[in-house]
């Protein structure tokens, strides 16, 4: 079956502007090349669409403002296409007043007495019947049989009818708010959010300024905006760590057991959910109205769905012009080969391998993703054109004059980020006595404090800086006793939360994913925590941070000198661990009482809360102290020694 560009456009459009799970499903249909692949992709897309619409329906109905009841079939065991279609049909048939009520009735009209299209219901029912008829045959469907299915059942046509019928529901923006900040002088909230629309699994954070009474109740959970109403989707859809991709991602309800629920990722990987999610599901089927929706208006008076409509129009215009088409020939061939070999040394086609692993098989990307790809792999002139500044300034500082040493400086003017990272590693290694360290070594997650320092500093600086700010190059300065790191781009995570590790999306998510794929970075947000832990283990001072939002800058200082190790002989003998004076003082304070909080330890030691917390972290790491919420006490094996 040959399709023209006009026939492909509905799927291409869907991959650009529909909620991420549906957009990905549309993209996979679009990229299918054989009849068997198309039949499978169409049926999978129909199931994904049904799962998503069922989640929206359930979440909306759970937010109803009356006592209407629905006759719902309770979900249990492994859930399938049919379970989700039944759920959305039953909720559509209910008479409760809730945000998405009218939109559902238009798409899923189940009675001829109801006005509206019902096209989505009819098309999905047809595709479910086809799916059940083919059954296990789908796994081994050959081209001849698939061709007959396409000719007789026309699954692609049915899928397109389902999408068109659900257009109003698919136009509702799906999003996660990572942080909201009250700006007192302006009387507004600023939301940092991820718009989960389009095919990208790595959306960059965006900001929304909303009116003072428009805050979001829960952070880091998926919402869908229905006009002014924002409906939260858990426990049907969660936002959490995809353990396979090692990144934050959507997780979909996939099974219901007695004491737990099972979720799956967009790729189908199973993950267990917590017991409270199972309780929430039981409450829903028991008729409990589980939540209210949030009302959110932007400072300019628009609601989030109106804002998305404006954004969507621009994306569609770019899609028609084929903006975002990835031409691998414009990138630096040497860099691409080097990167592809890190993924798979035996892969015959570097371009195809990188497209499959980094872009999930996509040929088209969003404009910001194309920018990130150019920075990662681009030729010098293209990188320079994008940045309008030098990439990196590496310096060794003379401690007497406090100026850069002339023959110990490397200014990376226009290399791509991969090449800049290599040069930075070699520079750091040469001037810190680690001359045997090679850029390929950055996939190792264990090593000396100097190696871990090198790894975390350069990888984090590459991932987190603001490449749209052309005011200053990233800088790294080496002193005899410390290293300082500076870059444009204030921390999206408050500095007092940096050590918590991995809860927020990177400013450059595609760059972050690229480095994770070759083992240069771990789960998003864990780097600073790893650096802090390495300093503790080496008895070095913890790194300090300075994030300036007004100046859009971030600075990190790492002191290389070891702390004084005046060890209390008694505790050293007892615990078998070298302790600093501060660590020994904190341990003594903890051992003197049944349990102690940080304020109690502050009072007993005359130390600051920060110093106490740092010492406590080390003692917990060494398993000489135990924690129970905000209380700390001597570890059980030491209490037994002391009698």
How far, in whole angstroms, is CA 226 from its chain's centroid?
A: 24
Q: Mean pLDDT over residues 595-615, rounded?
A: 84
* 203-224 tens-digit pLDDT: 999 999 999 888 888 899 999 9
Q: Confirm if 637 and 624 have CB atoms less than 8 A apart.
A: no
| pLDDT at site 566 | 45
**Which element (helix H / strand E) includes 109?**
none
pLDDT of 351: 94
Q: What is the pLDDT of residue 564?
A: 40
Cα angle for residues 19, 24, 27 (degrees, 5° grid): 125
d(CA 614, CA 496): 13
454, pLDDT greater than 90 = no
pLDDT in tens, 76-115: 888 899 999 999 999 998 887 899 999 999 898 866 565 5
Q: Give the pLDDT score at 432.
A: 81
Distance separating alpha carbons of residues 339 and 355, to the nearest angstrom: 12
- Angle at the Cα of 180 from the Cα atoms of 175 and 181, rounded to 5 degrees: 155
Q: Which CATH architecture has domain 385-559?
A: 2-Layer Sandwich (3.30)
**Helices in 32-142 by DSSP H: which ranges?**
35-61, 81-93, 101-107, 119-134
Instruction: Return the pLDDT at 290.
Output: 61
pLDDT at 148 (0 to 100): 95
pLDDT at 2 over 50: no
Q: Is 526's pLDDT higher than 60?
A: no
Residue scoring higher pLDDT (415 or 565): 415
What pLDDT, in 10s, does the model give residues 293-333?
A: 888 999 999 999 999 999 999 999 988 888 888 999 999 99
pLDDT digit string, tens, across residues 366-421: 889 999 999 999 999 999 999 999 999 999 999 889 999 989 999 999 999 999 99
Give the containing element (helix H, strand E) for 409: strand 404-412
- Give me the chain's average pLDDT, please: 86
Name the fold adopted by 569-642.
Answer: Arc Repressor Mutant, subunit A (1.10.10)
Confidence of residue 14 (pLDDT cuts 50, 70, 90): very high
Residue 124 has pLDDT above 50, yes or no: yes
- Whether 567 has a pLDDT exceeding 50, the answer reads no
Range of weakest confidence among 62-71, 140-149, 594-603: 62-71
In the chain, pLDDT over 90 holds for what percent of residues? 50
Smallest CA-to-CA distance from 499 within 390, 389, 610 is with 610
- Ranking 119-123, 434-438, 489-493 by mean pLDDT, the lowest is 434-438
pLDDT exceeds 50 at position 250: yes
Average pLDDT of span 247-275: 85
Q: CA of 410: how far to CAs of 388, 406, 425, 475, 489, in Å? A: 18, 9, 12, 10, 22
φ and ψ at 390, to 5 degrees? -65, 155
Domain boundaries, the chain: 5-170, 174-317, 385-559, 569-642
Given this model, what pLDDT does residue 392 score? 95
Considering only residues 123 and 287, tell me which one the structure prediction assigns the higher pLDDT: 123
């Amino acid at each position: 079956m040959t399709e023209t560009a006009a026939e492909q456009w509905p799927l291409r459009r869907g991959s650009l502007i529909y909620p991420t799970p549906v957009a990905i499903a549309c993209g996979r249909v679009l990229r299918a090349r054989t009849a068997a692949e198309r039949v499978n992709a169409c049926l999978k897309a129909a199931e994904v669409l049904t799962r998503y619409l069922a989640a929206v329906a359930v979440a909306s109905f759970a937010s109803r403002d009356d006592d209407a009841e629905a006759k719902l079939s309770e979900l249990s065991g492994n859930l399938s296409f049919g379970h989700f279609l039944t759920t959305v049909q039953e909720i559509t048939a209910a008479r409760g007043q809730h945000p998405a009520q009218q939109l559902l009735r238009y798409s899923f009209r189940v009675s001829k007495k109801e006005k509206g299209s019902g096209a989505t219901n009819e098309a999905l029912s047809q595709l479910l019947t086809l799916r059940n008829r083919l059954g296990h045959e789908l796994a081994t469907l050959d081209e001849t049989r698939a061709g007959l299915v396409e000719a007789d059942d026309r699954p692609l046509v049915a899928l397109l009818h389902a999408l068109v019928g659900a257009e109003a529901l698919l136009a509702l923006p799906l999003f996660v708010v990572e942080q909201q900040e009250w700006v007192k002088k302006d009387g507004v909230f600023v939301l940092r959010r991820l718009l989960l629309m389009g095919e990208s699994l790595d959306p960059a954070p965006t900001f929304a300024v909303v009116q003072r009474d428009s805050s979001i109740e829960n952070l880091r959970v998926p919402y869908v905006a229905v006009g002014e109403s924002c409906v939260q989707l858990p426990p049907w859809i969660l936002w959490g760590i995809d353990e396979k991709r090692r990144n934050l991602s959507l997780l979909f309800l996939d099974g219901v057991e007695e004491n737990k629920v099972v979720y799956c990722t967009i790729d189908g990987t199973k993950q267990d959910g917590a017991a409270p999610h199972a309780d929430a599901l039981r409450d829903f089927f028991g008729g409990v109205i589980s939540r209210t929706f949030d009302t959110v208006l932007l400072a300019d008076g628009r609601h989030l769905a109106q804002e998305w409509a404006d954004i969507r129009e621009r994306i569609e215009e770019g899609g028609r012009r084929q903006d975002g088409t990835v031409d691998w020939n414009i990138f630096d061939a040497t860099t691409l080969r080097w990167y592809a070999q890190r993924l798979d040394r035996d892969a015959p086609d570097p371009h195809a391998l990188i497209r499959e692993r980094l872009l999930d098989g996509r040929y088209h990307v969003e404009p910001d993703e194309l920018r990130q790809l150019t920075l990662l792999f681009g030729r010098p002139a293209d990188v320079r054109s994008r940045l309008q500044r030098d990439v990196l300034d590496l310096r060794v500082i003379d401690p007497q004059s406090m100026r850069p040493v002339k023959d110990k400086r490397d200014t990376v003017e226009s290399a791509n980020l991969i090449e800049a990272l290599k040069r930075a590693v070699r520079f750091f290694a040469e001037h810190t006595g680690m001359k045997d360290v090679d850029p390929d070594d950055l996939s190792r997650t264990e090593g000396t404090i100097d190696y871990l320092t090198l790894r975390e500093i350069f990888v984090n600086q590459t991932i987190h800086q603001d490449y749209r700010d052309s005011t200053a190059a990233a800088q790294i300065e080496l002193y005899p006793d410390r290293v300082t790191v500076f870059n444009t781009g204030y921390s999206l995570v408050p500095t007092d939360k940096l050590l918590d590790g991995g809860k927020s999306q990177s400013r450059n998510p595609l760059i972050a994913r690229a480095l994770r794929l070759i083992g240069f970075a771990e789960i998003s947000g864990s780097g600073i925590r790893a650096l802090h832990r390495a300093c503790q283990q080496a008895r070095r001072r913890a790194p300090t941070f300075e994030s300036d939002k007004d100046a859009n800058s971030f600075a990190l200082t790492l002191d290389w000198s070891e702390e004084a190790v005046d060890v209390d002989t008694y505790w050293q003998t007892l615990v078998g661990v070298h302790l600093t004076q501060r660590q020994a003082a904190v341990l003594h304070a903890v051992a003197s009482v049944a349990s102690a909080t940080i304020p109690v330890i502050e009072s007993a030691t005359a130390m600051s809360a920060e110093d106490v917390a740092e010492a406590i972290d080390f003692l917990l790491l060494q398993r000489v102290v135990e924690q129970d919420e905000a209380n700390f006490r001597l570890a059980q094996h030491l209490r037994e020694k002391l009698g």
